[in-house]
């Protein structure tokens, strides 16, 4: 064949392969000659151009555990000091939380006992009111009215749920705003949503205190709240919105839920179903808040596969639960300080 007027012999396939291998050897030797000698101080050498790698997608992460249990214990120590100071100013009087348990639900009884114990740990008092399964709405309303008018009571907790024959919403809304330390009234929710003074619903408010303590950035982030209950999902969304997050609320009728959750910088599981939110719905580097707790000792989110690829998460148990009780006690203390201080 002729190239640029010069006739060359046609090479066989074997010769082409031999020449290619020789070329590869020369390239390798050339690269070796440019390597630094043994003992060279790499720190003093000019760095090669950076290769951008998304380590959140290619390597295991060390996620921040949003430890609500430890934080609640820390807050209790601080509250104890405030209670002692209040007693000194108020001739020994202390904030009092009144708890109302209607019926004999074992789980509810346990929760009420835990709240009473938390009061005791910080030096406050609690009054436990127990009503029978056959209690009517009118009877419960009368008891709430009695507590509203008792100046020694600074917070009222109606344990959810109540027996089916009771109008729970009417009873929640009968609690005076000044004593609504569990944040369950419509008036309190409305004021909170409008940025006005009100006690926040205990679980979402506890979550916000937890995120604030760990300095989780909310402003400008996309938060997806899965659940729309009146005492968790809806107030959670409003609190995140007030913190300048962009909020999406999802629920049982939401279409293509996994795709929406995948967009979230912050995911809040508040749906009330064990591990309903799957790990592969959640993107790497997200903040995961699980507000659920079920007899299976799990929450609403499939957490186990997430712990080495999200930036932060609440454990179950030991995450949101302790902060819920702590926030109830904290808001009762605030109410007591207003009344006694």
Give the C-alpha separation, 192 to 209, whole Å: 15
At 62 the pLDDT is: 84
Can you say how many angstroms the Cα of residue 143 is from the centroid of all Cα atoms in its chain? 34
In which element (H, E) is residue 125 found?
A: strand 125-131
At 341 the pLDDT is: 84
67 closest CA partner among 328, 320, 330, 337:
320
Identify whether 69 is a catalytic site residue.
no
Catalytic residue chosen out of the listed positions 115, 143, 179, 234 = 115
Identify whether 182 is a catalytic site residue.
yes
Give the C-alpha separation, 168 to 179, whole Å: 17
- Helices H / strands E in the chain, number of each: 11, 11
The full set of domains in the chain, from first to last, is: 90-181 (3.40.50.10860), 201-322 (3.40.50.720)
At 103 the pLDDT is: 96
Catalytic residue chosen out of the listed positions 159, 179, 180, 300 = 159
How do the pLDDT tens digits run along the chain, 341 residues long?
443 333 444 445 545 555 555 555 554 554 444 444 444 443 343 333 332 323 344 346 789 999 999 999 999 999 999 999 999 999 999 999 999 999 999 999 999 999 999 999 999 999 999 999 999 999 999 999 999 999 999 999 999 999 999 999 999 999 999 999 999 999 999 999 999 999 999 999 999 999 999 999 999 999 999 999 999 999 999 999 999 999 999 998 999 999 999 999 999 999 999 999 999 999 999 999 999 999 999 999 999 999 999 999 999 999 999 999 999 999 999 999 999 98
pTM (two decimals)? 0.82
Identify whether 159 is a catalytic site residue.
yes
């Amino acid at each position: 064949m002729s190239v640029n007027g010069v006739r060359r012999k046609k090479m066989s396939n074997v010769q082409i392969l031999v020449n290619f291998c020789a070329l590869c050897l020369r390239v390798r030797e050339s690269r070796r000659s440019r390597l630094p000698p043994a003992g060279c101080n790499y720190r003093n050498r000019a760095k090669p151009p950076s290769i951008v790698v998304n380590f959140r997608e290619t390597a295991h992460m060390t996620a921040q555990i949003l430890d609500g249990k430890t934080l609640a214990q820390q807050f209790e120590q601080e509250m104890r000091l405030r209670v002692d100071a209040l007693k000194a100013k108020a001739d020994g009087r202390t904030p009092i939380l009144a708890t109302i348990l209607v019926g004999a639900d074992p789980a509810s009884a346990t929760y009420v006992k835990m709240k009473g114990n938390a009061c005791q740990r910080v030096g406050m008092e609690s009054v436990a009111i127990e009503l029978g399964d056959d209690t009517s709405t009118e009877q419960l309303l009368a008891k709430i009215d009695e507590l509203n008018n008792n100046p020694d009571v600074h917070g009222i907790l109606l344990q959810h749920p109540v027996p089916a024959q009771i109008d729970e919403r009417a009873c929640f809304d009968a609690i005076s705003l000044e004593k609504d330390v569990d944040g369950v009234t419509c008036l309190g929710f409305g004021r909170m949503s409008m940025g006005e003074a009100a006690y926040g619903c205990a679980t979402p408010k506890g979550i916000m205190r937890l995120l604030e303590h760990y300095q989780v950035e909310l402003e400008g982030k996309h938060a997806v709240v899965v659940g729309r209950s009146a005492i968790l999902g809806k107030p959670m969304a409003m609190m995140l919105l007030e913190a300048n997050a962009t909020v999406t609320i999802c629920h049982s009728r939401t279409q293509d839920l996994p795709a929406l959750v995948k967009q979230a910088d912050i995911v809040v599981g508040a749906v009330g179903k064990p591990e309903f939110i799957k790990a592969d719905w959640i993107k790497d580097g997200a903040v995961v808040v699980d507000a659920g707790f079920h007899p299976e000792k799990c929450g609403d989110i499939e957490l186990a596969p997430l712990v080495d690829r999200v930036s932060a998460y609440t454990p179950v148990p030991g995450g949101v639960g302790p902060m819920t009780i702590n926030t109830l006690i904290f808001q009762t203390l605030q109410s007591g300080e207003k009344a006694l201080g």
